[in-house]
Amino acid sequence: MRISPPTTLPSALSTPLLPSSTPPPVVIAGKMPEIHLGAHTIKSHGVTVARFHMHDWLILILLGVIEIVLNVINPFYRFVGQDMMTDLKYPHQDNTVPFWAVPLIAVLLPFLVILVVYFYRRDVYDFHHAILGLLYSALITGVITDAIKDAVGRPRPDFFWRCFPDGKAEFDSVTGNVVCHGLKHVIKEGHKSFPSGHTSWSFAGLTFLSWYLSGKIRVFDRRGHVAKLCLVFLPLLVAALVGISRVDDYWHHWQDVFAGGFLGLIVASFCYLQFFPPPYDPDGWGPHAYFRMLEESRNSVQQSSAANHLRVQPTELESIRIASENGMSISEFHQGESSPILDGSEGGRRR
């Protein structure tokens, strides 16, 4: 007996297959359907996803350590002569946006938005990658910003009053450099003007939030709902106002704010696109990992189904093997199998 595979596969295999518990997707205009939402939660898949990105979390911790070190070490104390003090005599005053408020604006606010989206969609892939991208945006920006601050050592606009809090200037008779007699930590901060850390952190976190919202509300769906842009531009406006406050408080020059904003915007954009498609993409609403998981699931089910259709029933193969071991030919086996009486009758057997 010769067993030949079917020349064509069943028509059901020509479309992606999903487990029986999941309804088949409806593909429209080449878009990846929004399926499986709610099936991959933090409780069910959170540990698996986190383990897969364990090295990313370890690098994130390393970036945090580097950021702490860069804030502890002293910056480069740039030469400041008497003729340079003209632009460095602005009043020394408190911050409109205090230091402790920056993480709240740049990290906590986007985190709350991402958390709300998670409770709505129940997609751990989206939640995990959004949080990871947000933290990388903030920490990479922070490390680059503080590394440049320490290397450049540019004096702040209020450096005179940091260096000479009593208003009595003193300069070295040989080099002409300042001889500061203010508080050491105040003078240290006075050499960290370029670029603006408040601005770079704010633009990093809030630019990532703008990208994230763009994908979730489908800003570029070509339906002409321009009002959606107001929601996307709102985080950028908040970041810009933080930067403006740094100039108004005389803690930074305008160049510091411009460089900090540009740095945060670029880093956040790279980090977002590392985890998510561009918002104008048909699948811009979800992370790359989610669609990769769908493709792997479909391919696995499709291959399994195809193998089932091509497989010969094991009972028949086993019967042929047993008949062969008993000295029966395949033709004799099938002749006996075709007898009207298979058991309990001598007429139905050939000896």
DSSP of 222-238, one letter per residue?
SS--TTHHHHHHHHHHH
DSSP of 194-220, one letter per residue?
SS-HHHHHHHHHHHHHHHHHHHHTTTT
State both tokens at 46. Answer: 């959170």
pLDDT computed for residue 64 by the predictor = 95
By the 10 Å C-beta count (0-12 exposed, 13-18 middle, 19+ buried), 297 is classed as middle
pLDDT computed for residue 307 by the predictor = 59
| Chain position carrying tokens 């939640």 | 127
* Residue range 218-253, pLDDT digits in tens: 888 888 788 888 899 999 999 999 999 999 999 999
Residues in the chain where the model's pLDDT stays below 70: 1-39, 42, 44-46, 297, 300-351
pLDDT computed for residue 26 by the predictor = 45
pLDDT computed for residue 28 by the predictor = 44
How many helices and strands, by DSSP H and E, does the chain display?
13, 0
This prediction has a pTM of 0.74
pLDDT computed for residue 325 by the predictor = 52
Say how far apart CA 279 and CA 178 lie, in whole Å.
52
State both tokens at 214. Answer: 């763009």
Is residue 334 annotated as a catalytic residue, yes or no?
A: no
| Options 36, 128, 191, 198, the catalytic residue | 198
The phi and psi torsions of 123 (rounded to 5 degrees) equal: -120, 105
Residue 183: CB partners within 8 Å, gap ≥ 6? 165
Cα pseudo-dihedral 39, 44, 47, 48, rounded to 10: -60
| Options 252, 253, 288, 334, the catalytic residue | 252
Is residue 198 annotated as a catalytic residue, yes or no?
A: yes
User: 235-273 b/e with 16+ CB inside 10 Å = b?
Assistant: bbebbbebbebbbebbbbbeebbbbbbebbbebbbebbe
